[in-house]
A and B are shown apart, each in its own frame.
Chain A
Amino acid sequence: MADINLVPQQIKQEQKKASVVRSTTVISIVLLLIIAGVAGFMFYRGYKLESEISMEQAEIEALRGKINKLSKIEVVARNLDMKYKTLQDILGDRLYYSVLMQEVDKRLPRSVGIDTLGVGKESTINVSGTGTDYLSISEFVNNLADKEFTDASAGLEGLFTDVSLKSVNLDSQTSEARFFIVITVDPNVLMLRTMQ
């Protein structure tokens, strides 16, 4: 059996048109509702944030007022804080050269004398002097390089990280050996010493 549609063509067009209008209306209203919802949420969020900022600002002003009343003690405290931090930095980074001098002296054999001693670049100490012979200079260098030197003060065994004998010359007139060495010092050891 064949389907027979007796509805006139004009009515069909009217129905189609009405359907398009209805669906367009529904879609546009749904879109409007969604956009209105988003806009409303954003407006509310913005308003809430602004009111929270206002409240924070009011609290900040109140705190500032209280702090201003304590401005005298604030100045004293601020200066104390600055002094404390500066002293902490200075004392923490301080190198105690007296300890270095004592350690060099402890490791110096009796047959070796120091002519010059000076602080060099990058934690180095330059030492020159004379020894009665090559062996005495060798002993001095070994003592400095010895990480388990028995007479070293506690905690200072590793003070000298590197000892480099730069030159040795025999003085023909005195028969003494002149030397020049560069000692690398561990600055942390000298700084740790300061905290004891």
Chain B
Amino acid sequence: MNIETNLDSQKIKDTLLNFIVPIISLIASFLLAFLIITPYVSKLPDLREQLTEKQKLRAQLQTKLGILDKLFDFESVVVEHGKVFSTALAEEPEVPVLLTQIDVIARESGLAVTKLSYSITDMATKTADVRDPLPYKAIVINLGVLGGYDQIATFLSNMETAARLVDVTTYRMSGDNNDDTPDYSATFILRSPYLVPSGTAETDSPITVDISDAVFLAVLEKVKGLKYYDISIDSQFLDVEEDELEDVETLEDDDTDAEEDSLTKAEIEALVESAVGEDVTQ
């Protein structure tokens, strides 16, 4: 019995010795597959993706550096273009100036202003595409006027050529056309956008502006062709003091009393403060 057991173990030893090379090879193959191949199978696609992203970012930064170098050489031109665009797209609400501009245009067009009120809205919340929200805010103005058909058409035309952009969102006019020169009462919902500038640099974000691009120059020329109304806050309130109460303070109320007409300086300043504040409807 003992001899048989010894023979069996000897046989196993012999077999193992005979197959030592295949066994070691298989173990090594298994280790290589487990320790190197399997991890790299999942790692390589990630590395390739990382490399692609880095290459994209490098290309983007190289393009951006090229654009910035070019813009640096023409810094004064860039600043000047920025100022031109700011005449059309204000950097702050500047509500008193805007209301005065609308008032001036209405009067120049031969209309009598009966109502003027405003509110400020964030266009980012108004856009249909939430992934690409509009970057600007807008002042929504409710304007009421009295005048003839031609005066209203002229007013619309003057609004469209005014340097500070004011879009007509909607309007309605009604009146009696029995007279030779019919008078209409018209209500306009106007919208004037403004864009608060960003004060920070974003190194990895691209800049695509090309100041020599034909479309850019076309937009620039169009803005330059608009009529600029030079209205300062001081002159506005000297002018508007009397009209202001009609146009801004009560607006819907034609019977403005004399006491309100003679506003003190402090009251005017308070009016300016409230006019500049957001989400205020006068």
Contacts and interface: CB of A to CB of B under 8 A. Distances in A.
A27 interface: yes
A50 interface: yes
B121 to A, nearest CB: 15
Interface in A1-50: 17, 21, 24-25, 27-29, 31-32, 35-36, 38-39, 42-43, 45-46, 49-50
Contacts of A45: 40, 44
Question: At the interface, is chain B mostly helix, strand, loop or mixed?
Answer: helix
B: interface residue count bin = 35 or more
Contacts of B61: 60, 63-64, 67
Interface string A50-90: 10110011011001101110110111111111111011111
B36 interface: yes
Question: At the interface, is chain A mostly helix, strand, loop or mixed?
Answer: helix
Interface stretch (B94-102, B203-211, B257-265): B203-211
Contact of A81 (B48, B69, B209): B209
Given A17-B18, A71-B201, A101-B152, A83 B47 contact: no
Nearest to A116: B174
Interface stretch (B1-9, B85-93, B240-248, B267-275): B85-93
A96 B22 CA distance: 86
A63 B54 CA distance: 12
Contacts of B235: none
Contacts of B81: 80
B79 A83 contact: no
Contacts of B65: 63, 66-67, 70
Contact of B173 (A29, A31, A43, A118): A118
B54 A114 contact: no
A87 B78 contact: no
Interface residues of A, number: 67
Contact of A77 (B154, B207, B222): B207
B193 A86 contact: yes
A178 B44 CA distance: 78
A86 B168 contact: no
Interface string B32-52: 110011001101100110110
B129 interface: no
| Of listed B48, B75, B153, residue having the most chain A CB within 10 A | B153
Contacts of B85: 80, 83-84, 87
B99 to A, nearest CB: 20
Contacts of A67: 61, 64-65, 68, 201, 203
Contacts of A115: 174-177
Interface of A: 17, 21, 24-25, 27-29, 31-32, 35-36, 38-39, 42-43, 45-46, 49-50, 52-53, 56-57, 59-60, 63-64, 66-68, 70-71, 73-84, 86-91, 94-98, 101-102, 105, 113-119, 129-130
Given A76-B75, A90-B89, A116-B172, 9 more contacts: A42-B41, A45-B44, A76-B82, A78-B205, A95-B168, A96-B156, A98-B153, A101-B149, A116-B175
Interface of B: 18-19, 21-23, 25-26, 28-29, 32-33, 36-37, 40-41, 43-44, 47-48, 50-51, 54-55, 57-58, 61-62, 64-65, 67-69, 71-72, 75, 78-79, 81-82, 85-86, 88-89, 134-136, 149-150, 152-154, 156-157, 159-160, 165, 167-168, 170-178, 182, 193, 195, 197-205, 207-209, 211, 215-216, 219, 222-223
